[in-house]
Structure 1
Amino acid sequence: MAGERSAAATRGLPARAAGRLPSLDLGALRDGFTGAVAFEAGQRRLFPWLAVAFGAGILVELTATQGQPNLAAPLAGAGLALAATAALRARPVALALTLGIAAFLLGFAAAAYRVASLASPILARTTIAPLTGLVEALDEREQGARLIVQVLALGSLEEGARPTRVRVSYRKAQAIRPGDRISASARLLPPPEAARPGGYDFARDAYFRGIGAVGSLTGRIDVIPSTERLPWSLRLAAAVDDARNALTRRITDATGGQGGAVAAALVTGKRGLISPQTNDVLRAAGIYHVVSISGLHMVLAAGVVFWLVRALLALVPLLALTWPIKKIAAGAAMVGVTAYCVFSGWDVAAERSWIMTLVMLGAILVDRPALSMRNLALAAMIALAREPEALLGPSFQMSFGAVAGLIACSPLLSARLFAGEKRGWIGRGLSFVMTAAVGTLATTLVAQIATAPFSTYHFQTVQPFGLVGNALTLPLVSLVVMPSAVVGILAYPFALDQPIWWLMGQAVKGMLVISTWIAGFGQANLVVPAFGPAALSLLACALLVATLSVSRLRWLALLPALSGLALAAAPTRYDVFIDREGAGAAVRGADGRLAVLGKPPNFVLEQWLKADGDGRRPDQVAAGEGAHCDRLGCTIHTVDGRSLALTKDKRAFHEDCARADILISRRDAPPGCASALIVDRKFLAEHGAVTIRLDPAGPVLSTVRKPGPPPPWRMASQVKPPDKPAAAAVDPPSGFAAWAKKPFEEPEPSADDAPVEPLQ
């Protein structure tokens, strides 16, 4: 009876209350998914996913391949996939998947071709030798300048062994112009690799810029008269760069101070005259993107030209009624933005923004919506086909991410607010002002959310007041700065530009005043610990699903978004950072913060601190509590009690090998060294910079260089490590004694000894 009552009592309860899990209606889920995909196809939202597949192919080739792939393989696969689409027209799902595979393989092929086509010699070791070359570009600084030099001769190196192009700097002011043939003594180094695993890889960026060495010029620089006519491409590049420098000086003379330096950078792209303090203020206010010529500048420049041409044509009734003035204005804007891109230096970020702007304006010419996700996807594929490596950089990720977010939210952003029944010009004016203000805040917020994962991953910084900074400064940029820049360039050939540059400079100074005020807020520039590529991939996937989808499928973005945020909120924290040359290390102390040992370069130490979420400057970091240092080296105990030694002099090896659990040195450790973990010159030459996480089971190492064939940008400096003798085969005392009799060898100068700045 009890059993019967129990069964009867549970008949009317839900399955979960009765102890049974509810069954999933797979058929309903399948039908719902199919319907959502059909709706996406009807809204023409499947095409942008081809750009995603194209980028995925590039990502796999640049990050996962080992060695140089055969270009014929992805091209053949893409050809077969495209041929198969003819038989799949009646099967839309299979057709979409096949097109995606073709786009993936074409992206893979584009990256493989780009890597192979740029192969050029990379300097293998530090070299001090006479340099003769042609100045391709010159960027003036507050002291001296930085040059891109096409190498004609470098010491005794043959043509196949010397770099094709080098980047050098000098501090003394000399009359050098682009196109000059110069000769000087140069101290050159291989482009340095990342300062930590997952960090900024200068060597990779330098490879794709054709730069095989970096360094400085010392002593006198001679300008040699050339009897040979330069190639037309170099003459054109030199003439444009010389004109950019001349206009930069003219703008700074008209405005003066840092306002003039920033104003000149907005017009010519020359940022060398902007002081580090001004850069810090702009970053803290969240508006440093204004200085880098990219999407904002291209859109504003094209918009000003488009508006001016259309307004002038509309003044003539006959033209307004009989001519397609909108298309004419779009064509004029295309010409104007192209000229602006060339004059601004044709930088990588500017070129991508130029492509995007041309696609948007071209849509107007063919009577299509200018701001659409299809146009954005087309611009992305064109830009990536031209420069596949851009996919790995923050500029591409942030610019296209911001535009994708703005397009996805455009129905909300374009709604007119405060537009009720208002009579009179005062009511309409207030409505316009309020709508513009709210629209500016909304677009800034959307752009910041869309770009936050990429900026945080690459720069480890967050600007909490960036919304305020952009809201207060962008009206000045949009209404005064950029229109003045366009008008000033038009007036420049007539020598009537000085008043315009003065007006532009006043607006820029106002922008700097606002930025300085915001930078004075507490915690205006937060440094957060670096998270890994897995978190970034999940967050980027969430952004793609949320922006490219128009159906209920966009809710699927919540899963990767929450997973990515969870990974980003709990990043891996390393306890030891080791310089790629072994010159110094940073060790976590008892207070939980990093302490420095040795003398790592300031640039490298700054990267370590930011990766650890530490906002201190390199000069604020001292040796940790408990560290003992002398001219032979340093010793310290780690947070888990292990003994760590940084050995500078070979005379300290005997003692350090006997007592240190972890031994670090820029020299070769002696045979039979008893330390459990040895990171010496041989190890660093093979693995690059090292980080260590102190796990209870033992130290866990991460290195910049991975096992297997090196990528092309590291082949010149890849050193095959010698075979390590077995510890049991060597008696430590006699091994050390034999090693100590070897001649004294001074390590080569570190690549970090030369100041290195990220390629812009």
Structure 2
Amino acid sequence: MERIGARGSGGSLALGLAARRAPGLVLPALRGWVGGCLAAESAQRRLFPWLAVAFGAGILLFFGVADGTPVLAAPLGAAALCLGLTPWLGTRPVILALALALTAASLGFAAASWRVSRVAGPVLARTTIGPLTGLVESLEEREEGARLVVRVARFGALAPEETPRRVRVSFKKAPPVRPGDAIEASARLLPPPEAARPGGYDFARDAWFRGIGAVGSLTGKIVVRPPAEAPALSSRLAALVDAARNALTRRIAEATGGQAGAVAAALVTGKRGLIAPVTSETLRAAGIYHVVSISGLHMVLAAGVVFWLIRAVLALVPHLALFWPIKKIAAAVAMLGVTAYCVFSGWDVAAERALVMTLIMLGAILVDRPALSMRNLALAALVALTREPEALLGPSFQMSFGAVAGLIACARLVGGTLFRQEGAGRIGRLFGAAAAAIIGTLATTLVAQVATAPFATYHFQTVQPFGLLGNALTLPLVSLAVMPAAVLGILAYPFALDLPVWWLMGQAVRGMLAISGWIEGFGGATLVVPAFGTAALGLLAAALLLATLPASGLRWLALLPGACGLALAAAPERHDLYVDRQGGGAALRGADGRLITLGRPSGFVLEQWLKADGDGRKAEAVGGGTCDRLGCVGYLADGRAVALVRDRRAFAEDCARAAVIVTGLAAPPGCAAGLVIDRAYLARHGATALRVAVGGALVPRHARDPARAAPWWPAARPPPETQKAPQPAAAEPSQEESPGVPDDPEP
């Protein structure tokens, strides 16, 4: 053994010396290794998923670089050209792969361009108060009042080409309307809010793709009137489904009671308005808020329960079990059931993508293919991105597909097959089954959390250290009790025999909330980390792709982008001054290194700034600078003054002494401050953040790029000001409701 070891060591040394003396020997060896890996990938048909990656790259190219709306024929022509060359590239596999990748990227670019042109609609230019007439498309009851989505027929004195197609409005009382009603009420509407900080969640973009051109609130009395014309069939069906969802939500909540009823209702219908903020924070602290978002977990469990029930019932009949393909029948029924569940739960974006993935995997059973494979995942991604290319930019898509890719790549560990030994005795089999169940559950949670961590941290700036424990303790309860009860309750609901089922389901949900509350009591259950940039996210996403998609040694290539991404994420750029998009408030880094406020930024915006800075304080706990009736003043770490001007009379003094002027007014042309962030500046750039670089230079970042013309950034949007439309006397308009951030989706 010693000789063999010595000889192996000497051989390695000799190879190292040879490589040093003859570099030409290394490249052929590396080329041979890569060629062997690619051959293995081709043999296992693992190259197809990279077409979905190329398709996504085309979408990112469109949203990241394209200025305006390209001509659709251009990317389609490029795709046709690349695809037309493939028959002559059969003997050159590398060039063939590049041609196919360019084809997929061009098609992704075309899909994004087509989607933008298809959903384009008017966006409200400024805050406007006026009478709103329209059709209630959906209604979500909340702890106080409700939130409605209204298809607008007329608003104030706006011309038809300026009137948003849909608006999202809140009402502080229980509204006397149902989905499908035509209403008239006084409304205070605003343009959908853009990102609160550069790189933050852009509600305006998401609203634009959903056809929502304004948000706000209803004031005064809501009058139900006959519609001027009969609504379209699709609108009537959507209203009927939403009304049924609301009725079932109330029934479940009343049968169960308390917050357990609110959570149970959300698990079934997707209506989360009754969940109190404190309950949401408890679920987030335990890392299980994704459970109340109708998406992958619910679709898989619903399909699994239906599949198991149908197959079990059919297996009870010997003739059917012997001569009928009961597995395929069960898969087909499960496909119908999970589709109906998705429609009833609101056909949310995350639920739709989960439905596509579930249908493809159940369809694989019908054609005798493996249900869970990278090819099926790639096909689901292609379908989802073709329908909604903008989903690639959001956390739901990224976390969902990232988690499933990780689970497929670690299938042996997650499935517990490593712990099952052939030929083992009874005790060995029992031990192996127990180990497989325990380790498999923990491994599933761990793999999903590792795969989704880059996206969750980038979008939400929070980490739940005890999320592994929370998921390990609650997911078995959800899988074995909550979701089967949900399916049984839905089946019993038409017979009015569902109330005992909802009560039993509520007891399981109470157990889930009790576990979450216990975990929330741990110190540091939720950690806030500074926001890192898109470069770090891109590198970590590339590492995840390289670690999960290949089946060969190419997985080792993930180490380089993974290490670089972690290094960038661990040392993010922290800004020293934040300015809101209207110039009414700001936050700057004080002498103690923490942010203090200037003016009156909204609590929602301030908490977004704090989270981006890695600061877990609530908005009310943040101190402020020196203020008077004319404005506020604060000081950067190097002593330079930052002035927030509220009154024009303050410009004369502040322009002479401040390095930075922040105001929602129009600054005088001769203002001598080093940087003036006024109404016109913010109208072009949106929310702004400044970083003090080495040498004292102020480096700005902006929420919108004035050189680009994204359709959800109207190029000619005037400075923020209130325009009062002709209207009857109305009550004082309510304050703008916080747009919120995307909820933690199901991985």
- TM-score, length basis structure 2: 0.94
| Counterpart contact for 1:148–1:165, Cα < 8 Å | yes
| Counterpart contact for 1:667–1:747, Cα < 8 Å | no
1:715 aligns with: 714
| Counterpart contact for 2:415–2:436, Cα < 8 Å | no
CA-to-aligned-CA distance 1:253-296 (integer Å, 9 cap, x gap): 11000000000000000000000000000000000110101001
| Counterpart contact for 2:530–2:612, Cα < 8 Å | yes
| Counterpart contact for 1:463–1:524, Cα < 8 Å | yes
- CA-based RMSD of the aligned residues comes to 2.2
Taking the aligned partners of 2:420 and 2:368, their CA distance within structure 1 comes to 29
The within-5 A match list for 1:645-684 is 645-684=643-682
* Greater mean deviation of Cα atoms: 79-88 or 710-719: 710-719
The alpha-carbon deviation at position 747 of structure 1 amounts to 11
| Counterpart contact for 1:481–1:504, Cα < 8 Å | yes
The alpha-carbon deviation at position 20 of structure 1 amounts to 6.5
* Greater mean deviation of Cα atoms: 585-594 or 706-715: 706-715
SS, match of residue 96 in structure 1? helix
The within-5 A match list for 1:135-150 is 135-150=136-151
2:740 aligns with: 757
Choose which of 638, 641, 644 in structure 2 pairs with 1:640.
638
* 1:137 partner amino acid: S
SS, match of residue 160 in structure 1? helix
| Counterpart contact for 2:128–2:723, Cα < 8 Å | no
* 2:628 partner amino acid: D
Determine whether 1:207 maps to 2:208. yes
The alpha-carbon deviation at position 14 of structure 1 amounts to 7.1
1:742 aligns with: none
| Counterpart contact for 2:217–2:736, Cα < 8 Å | no
The alpha-carbon deviation at position 427 of structure 1 amounts to 7.4
SS, match of residue 213 in structure 1? strand
The alpha-carbon deviation at position 87 of structure 1 amounts to 1.6
2:436 aligns with: 435
With over 3 angstroms needed to count, the CA separation of the structure-2 counterparts of 1:547 and 1:419, relative to structure 1, is: closer
Taking the aligned partners of 2:346 and 2:577, their CA distance within structure 1 comes to 41
CA-to-aligned-CA distance 1:303-349 (integer Å, 9 cap, x gap): 00000000111111110010000000100110000000000000000
Taking the aligned partners of 1:324 and 1:419, their CA distance within structure 2 comes to 29
Taking the aligned partners of 2:95 and 2:22, their CA distance within structure 1 comes to 32
The within-5 A match list for 1:607-618 is 607-618=608-619
The within-5 A match list for 1:696-711 is 696-711=695-710
With over 3 angstroms needed to count, the CA separation of the structure-2 counterparts of 1:713 and 1:501, relative to structure 1, is: same
| Counterpart contact for 1:16–1:22, Cα < 8 Å | no
| Counterpart contact for 1:126–1:751, Cα < 8 Å | no
Taking the aligned partners of 2:461 and 2:37, their CA distance within structure 1 comes to 37
* Greater mean deviation of Cα atoms: 468-477 or 152-161: 152-161
Determine whether 1:690 maps to 2:688. yes
Taking the aligned partners of 1:129 and 1:265, their CA distance within structure 2 comes to 34
1:3 aligns with: none
The within-5 A match list for 1:474-553 is 474-553=475-554
Which one scores higher on RCO, CA 8 angstroms, separation ≥ 6?
Answer: 2
Taking the aligned partners of 2:19 and 2:341, their CA distance within structure 1 comes to 70
The alpha-carbon deviation at position 100 of structure 1 amounts to 0.8
Give 5+ residue unaligned stretches, structure 2.
1-12, 725-731
The alpha-carbon deviation at position 67 of structure 1 amounts to 1.1
With over 3 angstroms needed to count, the CA separation of the structure-2 counterparts of 1:389 and 1:20, relative to structure 1, is: closer
The alpha-carbon deviation at position 537 of structure 1 amounts to 0.3
Determine whether 1:392 maps to 2:375. no
The alpha-carbon deviation at position 17 of structure 1 amounts to 8.9
SS, match of residue 447 in structure 1? helix
The alpha-carbon deviation at position 504 of structure 1 amounts to 0.6
2:113 aligns with: 112
| Counterpart contact for 2:149–2:167, Cα < 8 Å | yes
Taking the aligned partners of 1:21 and 1:194, their CA distance within structure 2 comes to 56
SS, match of residue 200 in structure 1? coil
Number of aligned residue pairs: 722
With over 3 angstroms needed to count, the CA separation of the structure-2 counterparts of 1:416 and 1:15, relative to structure 1, is: closer
The within-5 A match list for 1:159-238 is 159-226=160-227, 228-238=229-239
Taking the aligned partners of 2:493 and 2:430, their CA distance within structure 1 comes to 35
CA-to-aligned-CA distance 1:351-388 (integer Å, 9 cap, x gap): 00000000000000000000000000000000000000
- TM-score, length basis structure 1: 0.92
With over 3 angstroms needed to count, the CA separation of the structure-2 counterparts of 1:429 and 1:231, relative to structure 1, is: same
2:26 aligns with: 25
| Counterpart contact for 1:142–1:273, Cα < 8 Å | yes
The alpha-carbon deviation at position 423 of structure 1 amounts to 5.9
2:563 aligns with: 562
* 2:388 partner amino acid: E
The alpha-carbon deviation at position 83 of structure 1 amounts to 1.3
1:724 aligns with: none
| Counterpart contact for 2:414–2:441, Cα < 8 Å | no
* 1:756 partner amino acid: P
CA-to-aligned-CA distance 1:10-34 (integer Å, 9 cap, x gap): xxx9798999677252111111111
With over 3 angstroms needed to count, the CA separation of the structure-2 counterparts of 1:747 and 1:118, relative to structure 1, is: closer
Taking the aligned partners of 1:59 and 1:18, their CA distance within structure 2 comes to 44
Q: Structure 1 vs Structure 2: percent identity of aligned residues?
A: 67
2:56 aligns with: 55
1:313 aligns with: 314
The alpha-carbon deviation at position 746 of structure 1 amounts to 9.1
| Counterpart contact for 1:124–1:716, Cα < 8 Å | no
1:4 aligns with: none
* 2:688 partner amino acid: V
* 2:665 partner amino acid: R
SS, match of residue 672 in structure 1? coil
The within-5 A match list for 1:343-492 is 343-416=344-417, 419=420, 431-492=432-493
Pair member with larger Rg? 1
1:737 aligns with: none
* Greater mean deviation of Cα atoms: 523-532 or 18-27: 18-27
* 2:639 partner amino acid: G
1:90 aligns with: 91
The alpha-carbon deviation at position 194 of structure 1 amounts to 0.5
The alpha-carbon deviation at position 719 of structure 1 amounts to 4.7
The alpha-carbon deviation at position 750 of structure 1 amounts to 13
The alpha-carbon deviation at position 228 of structure 1 amounts to 3.8
Taking the aligned partners of 2:47 and 2:214, their CA distance within structure 1 comes to 44
| Counterpart contact for 1:15–1:21, Cα < 8 Å | no
* 2:678 partner amino acid: D
| Counterpart contact for 2:127–2:722, Cα < 8 Å | no
SS, match of residue 139 in structure 1? strand
2:126 aligns with: 125
1:631 aligns with: 629
With over 3 angstroms needed to count, the CA separation of the structure-2 counterparts of 1:223 and 1:131, relative to structure 1, is: same
* 2:203 partner amino acid: F
The alpha-carbon deviation at position 78 of structure 1 amounts to 0.5
The alpha-carbon deviation at position 225 of structure 1 amounts to 2.6
With over 3 angstroms needed to count, the CA separation of the structure-2 counterparts of 1:72 and 1:19, relative to structure 1, is: closer
Taking the aligned partners of 1:22 and 1:297, their CA distance within structure 2 comes to 59
Taking the aligned partners of 2:491 and 2:575, their CA distance within structure 1 comes to 54
| Counterpart contact for 1:417–1:434, Cα < 8 Å | no
SS, match of residue 162 in structure 2? coil
The alpha-carbon deviation at position 752 of structure 1 amounts to 8.4
With over 3 angstroms needed to count, the CA separation of the structure-2 counterparts of 1:720 and 1:520, relative to structure 1, is: closer
| Counterpart contact for 2:588–2:595, Cα < 8 Å | yes
With over 3 angstroms needed to count, the CA separation of the structure-2 counterparts of 1:582 and 1:318, relative to structure 1, is: same
Taking the aligned partners of 1:427 and 1:492, their CA distance within structure 2 comes to 44
SS, match of residue 273 in structure 1? coil
The alpha-carbon deviation at position 433 of structure 1 amounts to 3.5
The alpha-carbon deviation at position 679 of structure 1 amounts to 0.7
The alpha-carbon deviation at position 676 of structure 1 amounts to 1.1
The alpha-carbon deviation at position 419 of structure 1 amounts to 4.8
* Greater mean deviation of Cα atoms: 161-170 or 17-26: 17-26
| Counterpart contact for 2:532–2:569, Cα < 8 Å | yes
* 2:676 partner amino acid: I
Taking the aligned partners of 2:42 and 2:216, their CA distance within structure 1 comes to 53
With over 3 angstroms needed to count, the CA separation of the structure-2 counterparts of 1:530 and 1:751, relative to structure 1, is: farther
